């Protein structure tokens, strides 16, 4: 993962302005510690902080076309770059970088090439011939991007809010699946899959099609010139990622460089459910497993740094980001620069426990659509920024464009949770990998029920955060929270604490507006309450509100 920053239309293009751009770009260096680049053209600036994953020796950015009239700065990975190169035989590409194809595709197709890209990406492209520019973000928003406006009329783009928040009075989270065009004067959507519309899909469920699509999604993400691993919590999603990667590793290009034993990583409090489950999966797969421990106090001590990096005050995101942030530091220390992760499955297949209460397939499908559309504000933000804080790149196979289109074009009747006939949450996915002849995972792991990540790392983690917040935030402070924070007013002491830290780091009104209001996931969503009013009585936004649905009901919590 890299850090990108671009500014267009600066009134001041002096040496002092160049120095300021460099200074702001350095704020993103954690995302790309391997090299820095800056291109200036009159009143336009493109800056780049590189994390070298593909072609580490010659892929420095900004990249450009043959006559250096088109420049591009990119954060992300283009998995089909080799196929795209074959369509560009009249062009001379000078590096092995997967991102170099972008400037040449623009030359061939203008602004309409973006849907040709298979990958996760945010990029800004400058055409110096007419000083026009475009910026685009991948379909789901796996990579972050912000758009801002300066007082002098300049337009800014940055991978993280901290790169532009001091110099722009107004800024927003760049919407996923969109392009900004200076020629056409604003944002427009480039990603328009059928499931975005209101119709309910009707394609029959085919387990082999789903399985093969996911295997392709994992394999293409094993494209790397550096050591990589898998984040393994022991739950269904990360276990499937690890199982597929392990099965295909020996035949991959990565194995020639780094060996054919897969590395897996898990973090938790001592004795946590995730550590136990992950070790069981790792032992079954025969991976080189790294078990990382942290204490509640270590997590609390990291909170301010976590909020600085992930740029949100959302409670569930911070709870889950903190262990991931700590784990990423350990992973980096082991020399690993890229990991595969299991985000997105719950949104696609209705894996959150409140989906048990979905009244019909229509509402089930509509809710999964809304969950996917919001991923860039929650799970994608967490996975990307928690790992990028330490120069580690997270890739997410479940959010592969082809896989999502297949999974979301399926008749949602198959996704409905029907315990009476043995269909638990995400049954279609579990069934697709239920292979008696050549098993991917043991049955009891394949059909293991979901844990919320922030609970799975250790049940006392959330309790410890609440106890800490209770000592920092008084009853009076919470009582008058609506006076201090009239927008997105925190309703718990934990939420108040995180909001206080966030506002100290990012004090502008535009910053707080990049965080959506209300609890974000699991059983506190409006839809969950609509499906079962009893959940409205639980103020905690974690999956603990699903007591009675979860088979274990946390009875064995340490």
Catalytic residues: 2
Helices 493-505 and 315-333 pack at an angle, to 10 degrees, of 60
DSSP string, 321-340: HHHHHHHHHHHHHTT--EEE
How many angstroms separate the CA atoms of 437 and 453, rounded? 31
CA end-to-end span of the chain: 37
Angle at 540 between CA 534 and CA 544, to 5 degrees: 75
How many angstroms separate the CA atoms of 49 and 96, rounded? 18
Rg, Å, the chain Cα set: 23
- Backbone conformation region of residue 250, classed left if phi is above 0, alpha if psi is from -120 to 50, else beta: alpha
Closest CA to 291 of 234, 337, 246: 234
The partner residues of 173 in beta bridges, in order of sequence, read 146
How many angstroms separate the CA atoms of 308 and 531, rounded? 36
Which residues, 6+ apart, have CB-to-CB distance to 360 below 8 Å? Answer: none
Angle at 86 between CA 84 and CA 89, to 5 degrees: 115
The partner residues of 70 in beta bridges, in order of sequence, read 127
Residue found by looking up tokens 């009893």 in the block: 534
Cβ atoms of residues 255 and 443 within 8 Å = no
Helices (H) and strands (E) in the chain — how many of each?
23, 17
């Amino acid at each position: 993962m890299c850090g990108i920053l671009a500014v267009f239309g600066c009134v001041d293009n002096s040496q002092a302005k160049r120095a300021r751009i460099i200074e702001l770009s350095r704020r993103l260096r954690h995302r790309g510690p391997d090299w820095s680049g800056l291109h200036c053209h009159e009143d336009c600036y493109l800056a780049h902080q590189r994390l070298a994953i593909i072609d580490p020796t010659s892929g420095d950015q900004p990249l450009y076309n043959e006559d250096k009239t088109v420049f591009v700065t990119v954060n992300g990975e283009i998995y089909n770059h080799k196929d795209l190169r074959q369509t560009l035989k009249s062009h001379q590409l000078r590096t092995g970088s997967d991102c170099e194809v972008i400037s040449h595709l623009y030359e061939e197709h203008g602004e309409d090439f973006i849907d040709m890209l298979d990958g996760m990406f945010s990029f800004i492209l400058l055409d110096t011939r007419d000083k026009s520019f475009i910026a685009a973000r991948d379909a789901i928003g796996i990579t972050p991007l912000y758009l801002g406006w300066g007082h002098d009329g300049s337009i800014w783009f940055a991978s993280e809010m901290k790169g532009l928040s001091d110099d722009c009075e107004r800024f927003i989270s760049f919407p996923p699946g969109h392009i900004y065009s200076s020629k056409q004067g604003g944002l427009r959507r480039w990603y328009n899959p059928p499931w975005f519309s209101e119709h309910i899909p009707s394609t029959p469920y085919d387990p082999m099609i789903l399985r093969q699509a996911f295997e392709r999604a994992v394999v293409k993400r094993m494209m790397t010139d550096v050591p990589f691993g898998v984040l393994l919590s022991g739950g269904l999603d990360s276990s499937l990622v690890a199982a597929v990667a392990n099965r295909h590793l020996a035949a991959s290009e990565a194995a020639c460089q780094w060996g054919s034993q897969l590395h897996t990583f898990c973090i938790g409090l001592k004795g946590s459910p995730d550590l136990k489950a992950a070790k069981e999966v790792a032992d079954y797969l025969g991976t080189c497993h790294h078990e990382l421990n942290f204490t509640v106090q270590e997590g609390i001590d990291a909170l301010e740094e976590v909020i600085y990096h992930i740029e949100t005050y959302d409670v569930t995101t911070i709870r889950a980001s903190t262990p991931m942030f700590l784990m990423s530091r350990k992973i980096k220390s082991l020399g690993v620069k890229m990991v595969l992760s299991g985000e997105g499955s719950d949104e696609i297949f209705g894996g959150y426990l409140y989906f048990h209460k979905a009244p019909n397939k229509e509402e089930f499908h509509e809710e999964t659509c809304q969950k996917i559309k919001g991923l860039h504000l929650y799970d994608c933000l967490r996975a990307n920024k928690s790992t990028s804080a330490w120069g580690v790149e997270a890739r997410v196979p479940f959010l592969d464009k082809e896989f999502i289109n297949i999974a979301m074009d399926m008749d949602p009747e198959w996704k409905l949770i029907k315990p009476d006939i043995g269909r638990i949450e995400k049954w279609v996915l579990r069934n697709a990998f239920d292979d008696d002849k050549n098993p991917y995972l043991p049955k009891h792991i394949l059909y293991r029920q979901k844990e919320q990540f922030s609970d799975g790392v250790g049940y006392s983690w959330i309790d410890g955060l609440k106890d800490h917040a209770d000592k920092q935030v008084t009853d009076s402070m919470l009582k008058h929270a609506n006076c201090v924070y009239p927008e997105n007013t925190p309703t718990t002491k934990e939420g108040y604490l995180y909001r206080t830290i966030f506002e100290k780091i990012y004090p502008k009104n535009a910053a707080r507006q990049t965080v959506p209001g209300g609890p974000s996931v699991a059983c506190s969503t409006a839809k969950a309450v609509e499906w079962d009013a009893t959940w409205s009585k639980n103020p905690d936004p974690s999956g603990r509100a699903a007591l009675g649905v979860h088979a274990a009901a946390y009875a064995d919590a340490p």
